[in-house]
Structure 1
Amino acid sequence: MCLGIPGRIVEVWDESGTRMAHVAFPGETRKVCLAYLPDLGVDDYTMVHAGFALTRLDKESALLTLDVMREYELIDDTVTGCDTVTGCSGGTEGAR
């Protein structure tokens, strides 16, 4: 099973007619295609799967989802001690 991961958009640009973004996830930032949700902008939260933004999320839902994923050890941002989604303080509970 594959999981979508919530992230925060930190940069948006047009690449050959396709809207693209850098999205911050726990421990890293990735290039993501916004073709399905071209109205998303910087500081919006989105669920990403296979390099595509699939849905808009409110901040509270995104951070709660990340906390649950940490609780079930589906993600681990303790390697850097920093959550790039919200900063070095981690999600709603802080870095672990």
Structure 2
Amino acid sequence: MCLGIPGEVVELHPEQPDLAKVNVSGVKRLINIGLLADDPPKPGEWVLIHVGFALSKIDEAEAAAAMAFLEGIGQAYEDEIAALRGSLIE
């Protein structure tokens, strides 16, 4: 199962404007924000991530609700976070 997971944008990649460093439950990784070119996220904003792409911007309340739901479903969430940790950039 692949999940959409909320992440907070930490910084934009200075050399590649379609990439951003995002914090997902303490795991930081680069994601592609190219699908949000019409309204790109800024540091401090939240995005919904699926397979390395930001699909939409969400607010902090939506992010918190999504994380609570994901934590509640158990193993699928743990598997997704483990996959993110495997691509840790910091």
TM-score with structure 2 setting the length: 0.74
Following superposition, the deviation at residue 27 of structure 1 comes to 3.4
The reply to whether residue 51 of structure 1 matches residue 68 of structure 2 is: no
Whole-angstrom distance in 2 between the partners of 1:56 and 1:7: 10
The reply to whether residue 75 of structure 1 matches residue 77 of structure 2 is: yes
User: What percent of counterpart residues are identical?
Assistant: 29
Structure 1: where are the runs of 5+ without partners? 77-96
1:10 counterpart SS class: strand
Following superposition, the deviation at residue 13 of structure 1 comes to 2.0
May I ask how many residue pairs the two structures share in their alignment? 75
Whole-angstrom distance in 2 between the partners of 1:13 and 1:56: 18
Whole-angstrom distance in 1 between the partners of 2:62 and 2:73: 17
Runs of 4+ with >6 A deviation: none
Structure 2: where are the runs of 5+ without partners? 79-90
Name whichever structure is richer in helix by fraction: 2
1:70 counterpart SS class: helix
